């Protein structure tokens, strides 16, 4: 049985409409409550007025009766979002605000899944894509993509290193032997990955795609276009170090070049999945 959303939060800061519309559709689907979140102390009358307008729009245009408004300090975000099943926010803003502003802090500290919604996002998700490594499990990501956002199917993408083949070419090994070695490695990697997937159910990827080494962002953008993907699910990060900034860069590129939404899924240490409905 699909897991129902009970509480959907929307980051009200800078909301251009895509996030609030997506949240409204999901809330209508699951009869969930919506919490409009203003990051700050709530003392700005202009910001508060904007949030109240958004709340009235949700009630009048979508018939949602459980719409709450709250102000949360940045330092209290982690504690507050533990009670949410999903946080929806607009795509990352341009410039340094994407790297050091409130959106980046939300993504770094959030213990619930975060959905970054673009203006080009469709009404419903049809196909999700998730990068997967040899040691990682795709089940939590696939569960979030299918259960929380309603994606019809999930594809997995694995990027392999080609250092062995490059060394063989440098040593003068015939190309047909190099190509056969690559095919054998791909097949072995595919079997190893599939052994880590669930045997059946929505958490098993509909298809596994293997690509040679290269920039993950470029492979993800290419795959979204090739296979008609409209949602990419990424594992969350918890670091202020450059590796965390790299994830932000991947998310920004996906939304800018592929026009798809991005779902950021928390690590397994934080299991915030909704209750069974």
Secondary structure class of 263 (helix, strand, coil) = strand
Ordered per-residue pLDDT tens for the chain, 277 residues: 456 789 999 987 655 578 888 889 889 988 999 999 887 765 665 567 788 888 898 899 888 999 998 888 777 777 788 888 898 988 765 554 554 566 667 777 777 888 888 766 566 788 888 888 776 667 777 777 877 777 778 888 888 888 888 899 999 999 999 999 999 998 998 888 888 777 777 667 888 888 888 778 888 888 888 888 888 888 765 544 433 444 666 777 777 777 788 888 877 654 444 444 4
Order of strands, sheet of 153-159, starting from the edge strand that comes earlier in the sequence: 67-72, 33-39, 7-11, 86-90, 114-117, 261-265, 231-235, 127-131, 153-159, 207-211
Residue 238, pLDDT score: 52
Residue 119, pLDDT score: 65
Write the CB contacts of 74 (distance below 8 Å, at least 6 apart in sequence): 39, 102, 105
Residue 3, pLDDT score: 67
Distance CA(208)–CA(221), nearest Å, equals 16
Q: Helix 45-62 to helix 18-30 angle, to the nearest 10 degrees?
A: 40
For Cα atoms 39, 110, 105, give the angle at the middle one, nearest 5 degrees. Answer: 55
CATH architecture assignment, domain 7-265: 3-Layer(aba) Sandwich (3.40)
Residue 173, pLDDT score: 92
267, 236 in Cβ contact below 8 A? yes
- Residue of 108, 100, 90 whose CA lies nearest to 37: 90
Residue 180, pLDDT score: 93
Distance CA(76)–CA(183), nearest Å, equals 50
pLDDT per residue as tens digits for the range 126-184:
888 888 877 666 777 777 787 777 777 888 888 888 888 889 999 999 999 999 999 99
Kindly state the DSSP code that residue 127 receives in the 8-state scheme: E
Parse the chain into domains and list their residue ranges: 7-265
């Amino acid at each position: 049985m699909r897991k129902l959303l009970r509480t959907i939060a929307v980051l009200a800061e800078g909301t251009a409409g895509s996030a609030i519309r997506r949240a409204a559709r999901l809330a209508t689907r699951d009869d969930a409550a919506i919490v409009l979140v203003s990051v700050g102390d709530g003392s700005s009358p202009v910001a508060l007025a904007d949030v109240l307008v958004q709340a009235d729009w949700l009630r009048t245009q979508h018939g949602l009766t459980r719409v709450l408004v709250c102000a949360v300090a940045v330092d209290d975000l982690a504690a507050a979002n533990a009670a949410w099943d999903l946080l929806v926010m607009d795509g990352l803003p341009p410039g340094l605000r994407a790297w050091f502003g409130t959106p980046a802090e939300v993504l770094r500290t959030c213990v619930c899944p975060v959905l970054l919604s673009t203006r080009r996002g469709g009404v419903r998700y049809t196909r999700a894509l998730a990068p997967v490594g040899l040691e990682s499990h795709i089940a939590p990501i696939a569960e979030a993509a299918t259960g929380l956002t309603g994606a019809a199917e999930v594809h997995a993408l694995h990027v392999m290193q080609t250092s062995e083949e490059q060394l063989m070419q440098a040593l003068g090994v015939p190309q047909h032997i190099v190509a056969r070695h690559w095919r054998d490695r791909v097949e072995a990697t595919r079997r190893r990955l599939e052994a880590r997937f669930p045997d059946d159910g929505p958490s098993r990827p509909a298809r596994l795609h293997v690509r040679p080494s290269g920039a993950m962002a470029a492979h993800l953008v290419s795959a979204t276009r090739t296979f008609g993907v409209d949602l990419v699910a990424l594992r969350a990060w918890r670091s202020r170090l450059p590796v965390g900034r790299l994830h932000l860069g991947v998310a920004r590129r996906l939304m800018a070049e592929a026009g798809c939404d991005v779902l950021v899924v928390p690590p397994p240490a934080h299991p915030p999945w909704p209750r069974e409905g």
